[in-house]
Amino acid sequence: MRIQEFIGLNVIGVEEGKDVGKIVDCIVDSTWKITGIELESKSFFSSHVKVVAWEDIVAYGEDAVMIQNEESIRKVDADSIPHTFLEGKNRLKDLEVVTEAGTILGKVSDVYFDQKMGNTIIAFEISDGLVTDLMEGRRWLPCVPEMSARTDNLLVPALSEEKLEKNINIVNG
């Protein structure tokens, strides 16, 4: 599943059967696991965001994410979140992907995780710019533990360029 397909899904509390919000972002740690989801918030000026930890997600699918109840939603200081995908100061989307040898591979356009593996990120979708994306398609870079997200780039092992694949659209749909 692509993170961008996950963002925007409704979150439903199983106990009440109540829609408790929409996903606006995903939280990612340094071991390339999704550790939580961020829900829409009505307050624009607060430094806190509404978060559901991954462990509190009961189930998820193409149409909704299920949590036990509203008590699973916590307010967290936005600055304490290590990485997010779409928003925030440490976001992964649009980070430049650079090899340890200094080769720029493109920019992160999406992140894939396998529903069978839970919350583990399995690959990054890399964009080389609009024209290249239209002509050749985006590429898919398998995730390895040696990758590290920095302030301005995603640093990947030197031989990552050889591991780039044509975008595969069959990962969970």
Residue 89 within a domain: no
User: Is 172 within a domain?
Assistant: no
Question: Does 109 lie in the same domain as 79?
Answer: no
CB atoms within 10 A of CB 96: 14
Residues 70 and 101 in one domain: no
Going by C-alpha positions, the residue among 104, 92, 87, 94 that lies closest to residue 156 is 104
Report yes or no on 173 lying in a domain: no
Note whether residue 20 is domain-resident. yes
171 assigned to some structural domain: no
Q: Please write the tens of the pLDDT for every residue from 98-154.
A: 999 999 999 999 999 987 777 899 999 999 877 776 777 788 899 999 999 988 999
DSSP 23-89: EEEEEE-TTSBEEEEEE--S-SS-SEEEEEEGGGEEEE-SSEEEES-GGGEEEEEGGG--EESSSST
Amino acid occupying residue 1: M
Please provide the average confidence, as pLDDT, over all residues in the chain.
88
Domain final residue, candidates 54, 84, 114: 84
Q: Measured between alpha carbons, how far is 93 from 109 in angstroms, rounded to an integer?
A: 6
Distance CA 153, CA 137 (A): 22
Domain that residue 24 falls in: 3-84
CATH number at residue 123: 2.30.30
Q: How confident is the model at residue 170 (pLDDT cuts 50, 70, 90)?
A: very low
Residue 121, pLDDT score: 94
Q: pTM for this one?
A: 0.85
Distance in angstroms (rounded) separating the CA atoms of residues 70 and 47: 20
Total domains, the chain: 2
Which amino acid makes up residue 98?
Answer: V
Per-residue pLDDT, averaged over 17-37, amounts to 94
| CATH code of 61's domain | 2.30.30.240
* C-beta separation of 127 from 118 below 8 A: no
Asked whether residue 121 falls in the same domain as residue 73, the answer is no
| Residue 105 is assigned to a structural domain of this protein | yes
64 in the same domain as 123: no
pLDDT in tens, 40-99: 987 666 778 999 999 999 999 899 999 999 999 999 998 889 899 998 888 999 999 999
